[in-house]
A and B are shown apart, each in its own frame.
Chain A
């Protein structure tokens, strides 16, 4: 028998906690639920078509754009948002210390993407970093320092100081 979940009232598992969502509208994205219903405003919304990456979250460990996830369809998944990282991971610290943050709008998405990239590829080349972060746009165009920040983390982890 196929299980069915209610489109409007459902529960999501986010950063290890169960969250009750009520009165979700039909077709509402995970991004909208996170920001407007649950107050988790770390994930940013800009293009809402998967181009900018500012809404990136981990869905069962995979990096996805939360604007392209139907919220009511992921009741059985585990979601990690930038809030779930805590605030002082080595990636976050490296972004701050490398000056990889200007206006900060793209930072949550880029930090999620960089965190995920280093899980998949612990020692990426510059080309691999560029390709790995290609789905995240920084309109301040601070890409140089963003790539620096990722390299700083790689070096720190290699030196065992992280």
Chain B
């Protein structure tokens, strides 16, 4: 059971094509917990594929022509806190800052957060609100999948056996964005409920994503559309009645469960509160720049 260290996308693609029992290792911050506690077990013929040395996976590229920010799947939380990512996708940076500790943020990657497919994934919630797209690669070629379609159940994603996440493409938009989460303390916490809101003042649209209130991160489609049409974008304002409707629609789209971290009832309440705060905060900020 060796560990393979591919150094390029080409080597990685070839390896996944040749070997049939592969386990992809990114930052290890989720994977190793499973191994340490015995909930994840390696089979004797598993080949661990260490992704850290694949050069292309750690690239960050800003393309103003195509209006897209391209992040390699191996970009780490700590990198997400810095420019240019923090300037272009501040809600992703805010989400990154709430992940674990410095120790976790220097190791964990955005690709790992996506592949783990947890409904509590802070980065995933921000990426769904940002309408980001994943580029999945294998020897058979590349395909693109919306982040909102990537996870299909807790710990399950649409990756084929020989595929890996090459990069995340984030559209660059004007406007305001924010991420907020609730947990039992201010650091080192897995979210009880999380919300990301992206207000695009170019397209006059709003996207609301909810974390930890369903089997996957949820794009609150109805609430997003209603907010987009009821916000008066000229003056960056929404009536309190319409905002209440957005909040109710957000809660209606959540399908939380009771578990050891919180109750379904509290989570439903919390996503409404967070959504309201974020939209109010966003519109206040947008009004100042009118």
Contact = CB atoms under 8 A, between A and B. Distances in A.
Nearest to B43: A26
Interface string A5-16: 111100000000
B32 A68 contact: yes
A159 B111 CA distance: 44
Interface string B1-44: 11111110001101100000000010111011101110011101
Contact of B1 (A7, A48, A51, A75): A7
Interface residues of A, number: 37
Contacts of B277: none
Contacts of B6: 2
Interface in B19-77: 25, 27-29, 31-33, 35-37, 40-42, 44, 46-48, 50, 52-53
A129 to B, nearest CB: 12
A10 B132 CA distance: 40
A135 B103 contact: yes
A96 interface: no
B158 interface: no
A63 B77 CA distance: 13
B99 to A, nearest CB: 11
A29 B7 contact: no
Contacts of A135: 100-104, 187-188
A4 B104 CA distance: 26
A7 B4 CA distance: 10
A73 B4 CA distance: 8
A162 interface: no
Contacts of A48: 33, 36-37
A101 interface: no
Interface in A99-120: 113, 116-117
B2 A4 contact: yes
B107 A6 contact: no
Given A2-B7, A7-B48, A64-B106, A134 B101 contact: yes
Given A70-B28, A135-B104, A49 B33 contact: yes
Contacts of B40: 27
Contacts of A88: none
A29 B104 contact: no
Contacts of A50: 29, 32-33, 100-101, 103-104
Given A2-B14, A68-B32, A134 B3 contact: no
Given A7-B1, A135-B102, A73 B52 contact: yes
Given A26-B44, A135-B100, A64 B107 contact: yes
B2 A67 contact: no
Query: Which among A6, A64, A68, A72 has the greatest number of chain B C-beta atoms within 10 A?
Result: A68
A113 B104 CA distance: 12
A134 B103 CA distance: 9
Contacts of A53: 101, 103
A73 B37 contact: no
Interface string B255-290: 000000000000000000000000000000000000
A70 B25 contact: yes
B183 to A, nearest CB: 13
A116 B102 CA distance: 10
B188 A73 contact: no
Contacts of B100: 50, 135
Contact of A70 (B32, B41, B103): B32
A76 B5 contact: yes
17 contacts: A1-B11, A2-B12, A2-B14, A2-B15, A3-B5, A3-B7, A5-B5, A7-B3, A50-B100, A50-B101, A64-B106, A67-B32, A73-B28, A76-B53, A117-B102, A134-B186, A134-B188
Interface of A: 1-8, 26-27, 29, 48-51, 53, 56, 62-65, 67-70, 72-73, 75-76, 113, 116-117, 131-132, 134-136
Given A50-B32, A62-B106, A116-B102, 6 more contacts: A5-B2, A49-B37, A50-B101, A73-B3, A73-B48, A113-B102
